Structure formats: structure tokens, C-alpha cells
């Protein structure tokens, strides 16, 4: 009741408060009067004093409400995640104080912008970081406010930006292929089908075929688009909707493709690590991260089969691996974790790979294909040289039971000035799981989509 009577007014005799963001660097001498807004991420009450830590996305600020201010109704009932405006003197504090940027805002005025509930409904009751994973996903719209969760997503945008920067340096042209398509790329079993004005259509599994249409005009191209897969299993690295970074290179050899991939990934990592805020987040999330050594280890599929058998790692039927087996996720990850560095796994058998892959001229049983495997995650990239011969492609459709008619535009690329070309797709969420040491790709996107989850 007493507190309700205390009314704080913005004192017009004080100097005008300069609006700043929480992480903005400004001169503290002479002491400036500033205005900040943010949400309460932490607070500590002492007699006649209220310490409030604010968050605004750019950073954090320690604020002190003292005396009458601390005894107002709104200060006494302040709740976590309320949004608040504060004006006051920004002062340096000794670096042994726990205050971001070694400074503290001594408030002379504040107002609540949006009050968050307390008690039963307090955010700490809704979102328990060590609680059940499904509940946490249901509450992800609030869980995103957690620093560890949001820092992964901050790194994500830095990585996306770094890819765009690196591609720009490499003179790749960005194109934007459609998401609604009538052709499959990676097999019928993971197609999301829907009715498109009474015609059958799909959500795209990969933009690859469309990137191939663009190389005759632009040379090397790339896109950063969503891909969709109706994956019917729950694993820690499969999503139904993911961000696919895909590149396609014209007039190259298979070896050129591998060299490009190393250059691209190391280039992106250098850009990201040169950015202090991103680098410090990565350091926190993955303290042991080191830049991969070039060249990456190259390993043929047939050697991997031998390696797995030598290490007694069985296939899905609990049998020794044989040539022709699809190396399952578990076996692949075991191998990658033991080798513990990036691997280019190459030359997969024709039968287990997509229809469009170029055969190895030295050994037609296998394709000029590559998976890039990373410790902790396994495959993060799939790529290959593309079949560039018209007749061979027609045979490949037949062999894979794919009607050639809907692919007329793809086939035409082999008729109108074909070329040796190749490309790849990198799963952004998997790249981040590796870089930020996350157990699952569900934690590397804003709102994960996978079998059984399409909310929030
Ligand atoms: O190996 P994939 O299926 O290759 C393609 O789609 C090619 N057409 C790409 C190309 O050559 N342009 O997929 C490429 C990558 C995988 O290595 C993985 O990182 C990611 O896409 N990926 C998934 N990520 C999350 N959830 C899923 N369900 C994924 N499926 C593939």
C-alpha cells in the first residue's frame, strides 16, 4: 500500500536522456544520462535497492534502482521478462563487479512497458531448462529467451551471412529456386506430396536440379533455401524442414569439387571466427573447437567398408558390412567419432545413390559422389558430379523407375550444350550442430519440424 503511493516522475530539470542500445559503447566521462529499454533477465532485491539485469538482443546491462525508486509498487512487484524503460546515469564500475561492459545504470526514472506474470505463471515455471525435451519444445517460443538457446541461433545467422560473403568472394551467383515442384530429387520415400490445383506436386527435397538449369547463364551458382523431407524416423539429425545450402559448379572435375568444399567450409569458419561476438559464443558452446586441417581426409566408400569391418562395427542387420550396404547413421557416426576429423567419404556404389550421379570412369560400379562427415554429427554434406550424357541419363530414369516426362527441362540441359558439372547440398542445421556442439539439429533451428511436430 505504501509502495503504491510512491510515484516517480521523469524529472524535466535533468539533462535529456540519450537513447542507447544495451551493448552500445559510449563515453562514460563525463557521466552521460541515457535511456534504455529491455527485458528483465535477472533481478536481485536488497533493502532499498533493486539490481536488474536487462537484455535487448545486442547485449546486457546492469541497472540499479535505489531509494524511492526501489520502493515503488512496480519495482517491488517486478517480474522476470517484463519489458521496461529506464533512464539514468551510466557509470563505470570496477571490473571485479559482475556487470556487462564494466558499467552500471543508476536509474532516476523507469516505467514498465509490458508486465510479465509472476507466481504460478512466471516464466520460470513455464520453461524449465532441465525439464522434459518435448515440453521445452512446446514452450520454445519462451525458451528462446534463454541465452544458451539463443546463442546457437545467433551463430546460425552469422554462418548464413558468412556463406553469402564467401560465395560473393568466389563470384558465385545466388538464385532462388521454387519450393513447390513436380519432380523428386532424392527418392520417393521422403516426398511431401500435396494437391496443386488438381495436379500432384511436392515440397522440394533439394534445389539441385534447378541450380543445374542456372549454370549455363550464370556459371557457378548457389542458393540458401528450405528443403523438405517426410522422414519417417526420429533421429537427432533429421528434420522435415531444413535449410539447405546448395552450390553447383560448371566445367569442373570431381577433385575440383572436393577442393572447393574445403575452401568453402574453411572460408566460412574464418569469417565467422573473425567476428568477436560470434567467436565468443562458439567458444562458450564448443570450447574445444579448432579449425579443421586441410586437406580433409579422403576415404573411398570401399575403404570405409573395410575400416568398419576391421573395427568390428556391424551393419543394421548386425552383420559385417559388405560392398553395396548403405552405411547406417550409427555406424557412420562411430567411424567419424573414432577418426575424429572431417572426412570426405567418396565413390559410393551406383545402386545406393541418386539417379543423377556421374559414374566413375575408372570403376563404373561406383559414382563420383561425396559425403562430408563431421565428428559428433556424421554427414553434413552430400554432393556429386552429375551425369552429363543424354543417353545415360535416359537409362538412369528407367533404371530408377522415374518417368522422364516431368524431367523434360532437366534432360534438355544434356541436349543444349552439356558440360561436366557437379555440386552439393549442405544441411545448415547439421553444420551448426557440429560447430556449436549440439546434440541434435532440433536445437539449431528456430522452431524445429520433424515427424509429429509442426508447432509452435
Ligand atoms: O545428401 P542429400 O540428400 O543430397 C541432396 O539433396 C543433393 N541433391 C544436394 C545437392 O547435390 N545439391 O542432402 C544434402 C544434405 C545432407 O548432407 C544433410 O546435411 C542435409 O542435406 N539433410 C538434412 N538435414 C536435416 N534433416 C534432414 N531430413 C536432411 N536430409 C538431408
DSSP codes of every residue in 355-370: TTBPEETTEEEEESEE
For residue range 322-347, list pLDDT tens digits in order.
999 999 999 999 999 999 999 999 99
What number is the average pLDDT over the span 169-186?
97
* 410 prior amide bond cis, ω within 30: no
For 377, other C-beta atoms within 10 Å of its C-beta total 26
- What integer pLDDT is reported at residue 350 of this predicted model? 96
What number is the average pLDDT over the span 92-100?
92
d(CA 62, ligand 1 centre) in Å: 44
CA dihedral 34, 37, 43, 46 (to 10 degrees): 40
State if residue 423 touches ligand 1 by the CB under 6 angstroms criterion: yes
State if residue 88 touches ligand 1 by the CB under 6 angstroms criterion: no
Neighbouring-strand partners of residue 114: 83
What number is the average pLDDT over the span 171-187?
96
CA-wise closest residue to 329 among 203, 231, 209: 231
Handedness of CA 430, 431, 437, 442 (dihedral sign): negative
The Cα 327–Cα 317 span in angstroms is 11
State if residue 185 touches ligand 1 by the CB under 6 angstroms criterion: yes
Do the interacting molecules here have an ipTM over 0.90? yes
Mean pLDDT estimate for the chain: 96
- Per-residue pLDDT at 129 exceeds 90: no
- What integer pLDDT is reported at residue 7 of this predicted model? 79
For residue range 290-322, list pLDDT tens digits in order.
999 999 999 999 999 999 999 999 999 999 999
Please give the radius of gyration of the chain, using alpha carbons only, rounded to the nearest integer: 27
State if residue 422 touches ligand 1 by the CB under 6 angstroms criterion: no
* Alpha carbon 154 to its chain's center: 9
Looking at per-residue confidence, does 419 or 125 come out higher?
419
- What integer pLDDT is reported at residue 273 of this predicted model? 98
**CATH 2.40.50.140 describes domain 2-121:** yes
Q: Are 191 and 230 in contact (CB under 8 A)?
A: yes
For residue range 6-46, list pLDDT tens digits in order.
778 899 999 999 999 999 999 999 999 999 999 999 999 98
The Cα 308–Cα 293 span in angstroms is 23
* Residue 185 Cα: closest atom of ligand 1: 8
State if residue 383 touches ligand 1 by the CB under 6 angstroms criterion: yes
Q: Are 86 and 105 in contact (CB under 8 A)?
A: yes
For residue range 272-285, list pLDDT tens digits in order.
999 999 999 999 99
- Nearest Cα residue to atom 21 of ligand 1: 427
Per the structure block, which three cell numbers stand in for 426? 549442405
What number is the average pLDDT over the span 411-432?
98
- Per-residue pLDDT at 1 exceeds 90: no
- What integer pLDDT is reported at residue 187 of this predicted model? 87
Query: Where does 139-288 have alpha helices with state H?
Result: 140-143, 147-169, 208-218, 254-273, 276-285
- Nearest Cα residue to atom 11 of ligand 1: 424
- What integer pLDDT is reported at residue 5 of this predicted model? 73
State if residue 430 touches ligand 1 by the CB under 6 angstroms criterion: yes
What number is the average pLDDT over the span 54-79?
96
Cβ neighbours for 409, distance < 8 A, ≥ 6 positions apart: 213
For residue range 358-409, list pLDDT tens digits in order.
999 999 999 999 999 999 999 999 999 999 999 999 999 999 999 999 999 9
Reduce the DSSP state of residue 226 to 3 states and report it: strand
- What integer pLDDT is reported at residue 47 of this predicted model? 87
Considering the segment(s) 137-443 as one domain, its CATH architecture is 2-Layer Sandwich (3.30)
pLDDT > 70 fraction of the chain, expressed in percent and rounded: 100
- What integer pLDDT is reported at residue 188 of this predicted model? 87
- What integer pLDDT is reported at residue 2 of this predicted model? 72
For the whole model, what pTM was predicted?
Answer: 0.95
- pLDDT grade, residue 130 (50/70/90)? confident
CA-wise closest residue to 105 among 117, 88, 122: 88
Q: Are 427 and 244 in contact (CB under 8 A)?
A: yes
Q: Are 230 and 190 in contact (CB under 8 A)?
A: yes
**180-181 vs 199-203, strand pairing mode:** antiparallel
Q: Are 116 and 82 in contact (CB under 8 A)?
A: yes
For residue range 198-248, list pLDDT tens digits in order.
999 999 999 999 999 999 999 999 999 999 999 998 999 999 999 999 999
State if residue 184 touches ligand 1 by the CB under 6 angstroms criterion: no
- What integer pLDDT is reported at residue 233 of this predicted model? 87
- Per-residue pLDDT at 425 exceeds 90: yes
What residue spans define the domains of the chain?
Answer: 2-121, 137-443
- Per-residue pLDDT at 3 exceeds 90: no
What number is the average pLDDT over the span 185-196?
94
Q: Are 448 and 441 in contact (CB under 8 A)?
A: yes
Amino acid at each position: 500500500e505504501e509502495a503504491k503511493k510512491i510515484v516517480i516522475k521523469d524529472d524535466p530539470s535533468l539533462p535529456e536522456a540519450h537513447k542507447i542500445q544495451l551493448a552500445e559503447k559510449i563515453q562514460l566521462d563525463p557521466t552521460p544520462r541515457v535511456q534504455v529499454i529491455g527485458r528483465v533477465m535477472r533481478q536481485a532485491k536488497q533493502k532499498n535497492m533493486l539490481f536488474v539485469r536487462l537484455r535487448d538482443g545486442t547485449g546486457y546491462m546492469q541497472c540499479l534502482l535505489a531509494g524511492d525508486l526501489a520502493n515503488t509498487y512496480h519495482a517491488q512487484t517486478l517480474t522476470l521478462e517484463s519489458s521496461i524503460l529506464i533512464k539514468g546515469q551510466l557509470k563505470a564500475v570496477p571490473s571485479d563487479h559482475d556487470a556487462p561492459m564494466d558499467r552500471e545504470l543508476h536509474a532516476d526514472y523507469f516505467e514498465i512497458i509490458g508486465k510479465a506474470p509472476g507466481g504460478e505463471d512466471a516464466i520460470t515455471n513455464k520453461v524449465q531448462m532441465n525439464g522434459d525435451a518435448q515440453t521445452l519444445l512446446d514452450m520454445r517460443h519462451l525458451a528462446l529467451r534463454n541465452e544458451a538457446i539463443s546463442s546457437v541461433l545467433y551463430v546460425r545467422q552469422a554462418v548464413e551471412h558468412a556463406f553469402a560473403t564467401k560465395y560473393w568472394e568466389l563470384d558465385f551467383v545466388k538464385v532462388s529456386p521454387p519450393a513447390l515442384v513436380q519432380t523428386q530429387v532424392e527418392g520417393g520415400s521422403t516426398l511431401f506430396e500435396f494437391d496443386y490445383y488438381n495436379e500432384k506436386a511436392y515440397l522440394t527435397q533439394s534445389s539441385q536440379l534447378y541450380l543445374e538449369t542456372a549454370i549455363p547463364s550464370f556459371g557457378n551458382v548457389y542458393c540458401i533455401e528450405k528443403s523438405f523431407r517426410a522422414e519417417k524416423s526420429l533421429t537427432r539429425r533429421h528434420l522435415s524442414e531444413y535449410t539447405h545450402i546448395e552450390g553447383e559448379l560448371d566445367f569442373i572435375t570431381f577433385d575440383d569439387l572436393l577442393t572447393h568444399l574445403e575452401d568453402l567450409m574453411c572460408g566460412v569458419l574464418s569469417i565467422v571466427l573473425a567476428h568477436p561476438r560470434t567467436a565468443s559464443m562458439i567458444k562458450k558452446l564448443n570450447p574445444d573447437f579448432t579449425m579443421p586441417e586441410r586437406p580433409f581426409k579422403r576415404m573411398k566408400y570401399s575403404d570405409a567398408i573395410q575400416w568398419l569391418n576391421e573395427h568390428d562395427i556391424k551393419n543394421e542387420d548386425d552383420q559385417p558390412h559388405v560392398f553395396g550396404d548403405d552405411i547406417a547413421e550409427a555406424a557412420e557416426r562411430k567411424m567419424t567419432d573414432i577418426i575424429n576429423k572431417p572426412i570426405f567419404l567418396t565413390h559410393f556404389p551406383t545402386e545406393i545413390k541418386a539417379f543423377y550421379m556421374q559414374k566413375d570412369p575408372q570403376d563404373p560400379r561406383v559414382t563420383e559422389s561425396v559425403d562430408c562427415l563431421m565428428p559428433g554429427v556424421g554427414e553434413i554434406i552430400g554432393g556429386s558430379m552429375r551425369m552429363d550424357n543424354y543417353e545415360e541419363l535416359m537409362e538412369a530414369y528407367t533404371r530408377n523407375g522415374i518417368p522422364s516426362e516431368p524431367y523434360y527441362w532437366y534432360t534438355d540441359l544434356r541436349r543444349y550444350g552439356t558440360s561436366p558439372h557437379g555440386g552439393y547440398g549442405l544441411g545448415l542445421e547439421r553444420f551448426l550442430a557440429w560447430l556449436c556442439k549440439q546434440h541434435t539439429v532440433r536445437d539449431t533451428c528456430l522452431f524445429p519440424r520433424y515427424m509429429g511436430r509442426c508447432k509452435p
